[in-house]
Amino acid sequence: MDGDLFSKEVVRLWRAWKTVHEMVVDRGYELAEDEIHISLDKFRLDYTNADGSPNIWVEFCTDTGSVGTGTMKKFAHFCSANNYKVGVFVTRAALSPAARRTMAAGSGVYTTLEAFLEDDLLVNITKHELVPKHNPLSKEEKIALLKRYHLKETQLPRILQKDPIARYLGLRRGQVVKIIRDSETAGRYASYRLCV
């Protein structure tokens, strides 16, 4: 690989790496400031996923072809064997249908496996001016919300689990997210969505 092409590839990986780490922080995990705001030079020197968090593992797959079941089984086994709560698999190419099934089967009670295309992580979508602030509610906050407005869970508007923001935040079925929007007439207002 020539120098210019290699340099472009490193920059792409660095941008995706930063977005993944911002996503981890937005999900409530604690990371050191230098892990979130890593410089390109430091990334070039280290190029590791040493995020320091015992609860989440982020792995980059550099295969350029479709990712198969063997790769996904290794990833699922590694996350399970090391007791990671969440495994985030970042790949250049799409997962094969069999690898998607393996990923779904590998997600269990203690480990959740997720896959993202590298291209989808080049920009942090939560920083876009048209995307309002999304705050996932805890179980207690969800119960209080439903009680306050005398609602059943099914009466809330929905957000799909495959929605880009839901995927970014790692929302699970049944979880509620609070969406805060700016309004010219009301200032700011909040709405709630149930993840389905």
Residues 36 and 59 in one domain: yes
Residues 116 and 131 in one domain: no
Domain end point (choices 123, 153, 185) = 123
Each of the 196 residues of the chain gets a pLDDT tens digit; together they read 344 545 666 677 788 878 888 888 888 888 877 777 888 877 776 544 333 333 568 888 887 778 888 888 999 888 888 777 778 899 988 888 998 888 888 776 567 888 999 888 888 888 888 899 999 998 999 999 999 999 999 999 999 999 999 998 888 899 999 999 988 887 888 999 999 9
- 177 strand-pairing partners: 136, 193
Residue 29 has, within 13 A of its CA and on its CB side, a CA count of 23
User: How many independent structural domains does the chain possess?
Assistant: 2
Say what the pTM is.
0.69
3-state secondary structure of 150: coil
Residues 162 and 102 in one domain: no
Residues 47 and 134 in one domain: no
User: Would you say 53 and 24 are in contact if contact means Cβ atoms under 8 Å apart?
Assistant: yes
* 190: containing domain: 126-195
Q: Would you state the structure tokens that stand for residue 68, as one six-digit string? A: 């198969």
C-alpha torsion sign, points 54, 36, 24, 134 = positive
